[in-house]
């Protein structure tokens, strides 16, 4: 073990010398060409690192160990980043700012792709070397920037409607609601619990919940061509669903301080009939302990204004740092991680949603994860968040607008008009 790590270190040093030389020689060329990294540039073999947050199940290490057994000369090492997503991004950005070769493969949140690609911190991936038809189309899109692939879809995520079966049974309701109106009618029949919650604290989760509400009413935040178009009647109907929810008590007022965990807590206490949550909570709510809803809850696609809603897409993609040596190894490593075998193993171990469509239809897996069918339906309907180079500013603007509308600081009309204005400045430039 010790000798391996010493060898690795030596190799890293050797490789880094090479890369410094290469970077110095090549950088001016790069700039002249506008830095279009064509896929052939992914060369070099040797040890690599994977910079990633939260190895929640510990399974990432298993996957890496398997890889290392098969590739003794191209060992991979995990660099764990903090649990907090913003801190992960910050570490990766700092790494790119210093052109450090410490990170080879980056585990990027889906919303970071545009920023990392536009700043040329990650290398373009060869589309033809991935069988993109096998992946969920929406997930693949999150790895693209200007129609080029920069990050391979690895894990995906979409909001689901969790419902308290017990409460609905008592009220004689058999089916999960498909529209907001149905949901409110159902709630009227249930006694002793608040109707609905999501994540409305002023953070990324609010962007997700706001986008979901807007999309579920048929609106968009940015349209397919990337232009902001949020000051529309549809978007207003979506936002008003939440604003009125807070006003008329459908949503409990403390939900304004909810992140994922706070909302899970309220649901598990039996305080909520419905709530919007990621799939991760399924396993946790099924565990004996604090959860009072073990075996008493179910999941369904999110409801919308006139039919099923449109969840917002989450998840993580794998990219190669532009400043890393051994990019060829890194590419192989990404192919390995996104292979069907690995994604299946990862799903079983971590219950994180895979990006390969076929796994959702696997009978064995469906038995183990009963929500897979629902999740696939949601994923096929899911919408990405704006793919903006200045995503940090974009999401801050969305949060500002949504938060001020939800807290009554601004009317929905004004909030959306301001947001449209702000997004116009942020996205065109």
Partner 1 sequence: MTTTTAEPGTVAPVKQKNKSDVQGSGRLAAVLLSPTFLVLALVVGYPIIDALRESMYQRSNGLDANGFVVKGDKFVGLKNYTDILTGDASHAFWNAFYNTTFFTVVGVLIETILGVAMALVMHQAFRGRGFVRASILVPWAIPTAVSALLWRWVFQADGVANAMIGHQVLWTTEGFHAKVAVLIADTWKTAPFVGLLVLAGLQLIPAEVYEAAKVDGAGTWYTFRKITLPLIKPVLLVAVLFRLLDVLRFFDLPFVLIGAHKDSVETLSMLAYDEASNLRYGPAAAYATILFVYVAVVAYAFVKLLGADIIGEARSRKKTAAKRAKKGPRAAREATA
Partner 2 sequence: MTAISTTKAKPTGRREFSAGKALSYLGMAVVAIYCLAPFYWMVVSAFRRPQDQFDNSPIPAPFSVKNFGAVFKPGVGFGRALVNSLVVAGATTLLTLVVGTFTAYALARLDFKFKNIVLGIIVATSMFPTISLIVPLLHLFTNIGWINSYQAMIIPDLSFVLPLAVWNLNAFFRQMPFELEYAAMVDGCTRGQAFRKIIVPLAAPGVFTTAIIAFIAAWNEFMIALTMVNKKEMQTATVSISKFTGAYGFDQPFGTQMAAGVLVTVPLVIVVLLLQRRIIAGLTAGGVK
Token reading at 365? 């897996």
Residues 265-324 that bind partner 1 (CB under 8 A): 265-266
State the virtual CA torsion across 147, 388, 41, 30 in degrees, nearest 10.
120
Token reading at 296? 């008493």
Least distance CB 102 / partner 2 (angstroms): 5
- Candidates 46-54, 126-134, 235-243, 370-378; binding stretch for partner 2 (CB under 8 A): 46-54
| Cα dist from 206 to 242, 257, 283, 349, 401, whole Å | 11, 10, 23, 29, 10
Residues 118-147 that bind partner 1 (CB under 8 A): 118-120, 145-146
Backbone angles phi, psi at 4, to 5 degrees: -60, -45
Alpha-carbon span 186 to 391, nearest angstrom: 38
Of 189 and 287, nearer to partner 2 (C-beta) is 287
Give yes or no for residue 291 binding partner 2 (CB under 8 A).
yes
Biggest CA pair distance of the chain? 72
Residues in contact with partner 1, total (CB under 8 A)?
A: 35
Residue 247 interface partner, choices partner 1, partner 2, none, CB cut-off 5-8 Å depending on type: none
| Cα dist from 426 to 144, 192, 222, 226, 320, whole Å | 20, 45, 12, 12, 27
Least distance CB 79 / partner 2 (angstroms): 5
SS3 state of residue 72 = coil
Of 25 and 34, nearer to partner 1 (C-beta) is 34
Q: Which of 134, 141, 259, 390 binds partner 2 (CB under 8 A)?
A: 259
What residue has token string 């409801």?
A: 303
Q: Are 8 and 47 in contact (CB under 8 A)?
A: yes
Token reading at 421? 């204005």
Residue 119 interface partner, choices partner 1, partner 2, none, CB cut-off 5-8 Å depending on type: partner 1
Least distance CB 54 / partner 2 (angstroms): 4
Q: Are 138 and 110 in contact (CB under 8 A)?
A: no
> Where along the sequence are the contacts to partner 2 (CB under 8 A)?
49, 51, 53-58, 61, 79-84, 87, 91, 94, 97-98, 100, 102-103, 157, 259-261, 265, 268-269, 278-281, 283-284, 287-291, 350-352
> Where along the sequence are the contacts to partner 1 (CB under 8 A)?
31, 34-36, 86, 89-90, 93, 117-120, 145-146, 201-203, 253-254, 256-258, 262, 265-266, 389-390, 392-393, 396, 399-400, 407, 409, 429
């Amino acid at each position: 073990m010790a000798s391996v790590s010493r060898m690795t270190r030596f190799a890293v040093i050797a490789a880094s010398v090479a890369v410094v030389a290469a970077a110095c020689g090549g950088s001016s060329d790069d700039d002249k060409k506008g830095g279009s990294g064509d896929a052939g540039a992914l060369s070099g073999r040797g040890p690599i690192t994977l910079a990633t947050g939260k190895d929640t199940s510990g399974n990432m290490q298993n996957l890496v160990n398997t890889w290392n057994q098969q590739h003794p000369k191209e060992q991979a090492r995990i660099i764990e980043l903090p649990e907090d997503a913003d801190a992960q991004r910050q570490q990766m950005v700092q790494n790119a700012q210093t052109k450090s070769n410490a990170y080879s493969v980056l585990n990027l949140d889906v919303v970071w792709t545009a920023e990392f690609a536009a700043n040329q911190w990650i290398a373009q991936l060869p589309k033809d070397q991935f069988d993109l038809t096998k992946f969920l189309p929406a997930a693949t899109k999150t790895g693209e920037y200007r129609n080029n692939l920069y990050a391979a879809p690895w894990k995906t995520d979409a909001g689901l409607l969790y419902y308290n079966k017990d409460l609905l049974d008592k009220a004689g309701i058999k089916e999960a609601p498909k529209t907001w109106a149905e949901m409110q009618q159902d709630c009227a029949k249930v006694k002793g619990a608040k109707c609905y919650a999501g994540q409305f604290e002023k953070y990324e989760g609010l962007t997700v919940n706001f986008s979901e509400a807007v999309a579920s009413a048929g609106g968009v935040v940015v349209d397919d061509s990337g232009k902001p178009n949020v000051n529309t009647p549809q978007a207003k109907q979506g936002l008003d669903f939440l604003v009125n929810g807070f006003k008329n008590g459908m949503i409990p007022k403390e939900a304004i301080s909810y992140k994922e965990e706070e909302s899970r807590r309220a649901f598990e206490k039996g305080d909520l009939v419905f709530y919007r949550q990621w799939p991760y909570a399924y396993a946790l709510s099924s565990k004996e302990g604090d959860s009072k809803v073990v075996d008493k809850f179910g999941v369904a696609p999110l409801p919308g204004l006139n039919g099923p809603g449109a969840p917002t897409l989450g998840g993580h993609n794998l990219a190669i740092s532009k400043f890393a040596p051994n990019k060829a190894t890194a590419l192989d490593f990404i192919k390995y991680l996104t292979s069907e075998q690995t994604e299946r193993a990862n799903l079983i171990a971590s219950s994180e949603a895979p990006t390969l469509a076929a796994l959702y239809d696997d009978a064995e897996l469906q038995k183990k994860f009963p929500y897979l069918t629902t999740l696939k339906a949601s994923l096929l309907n899911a919408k990405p968040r704006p793919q903006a180079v200045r995503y940090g500013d974009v999401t801050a603007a969305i949060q500002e607008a949504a938060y001020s509308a939800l807290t009554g600081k601004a009317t929905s009309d004004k909030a959306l008009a301001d947001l449209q204005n702000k997004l116009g400045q942020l996205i065109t430039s």
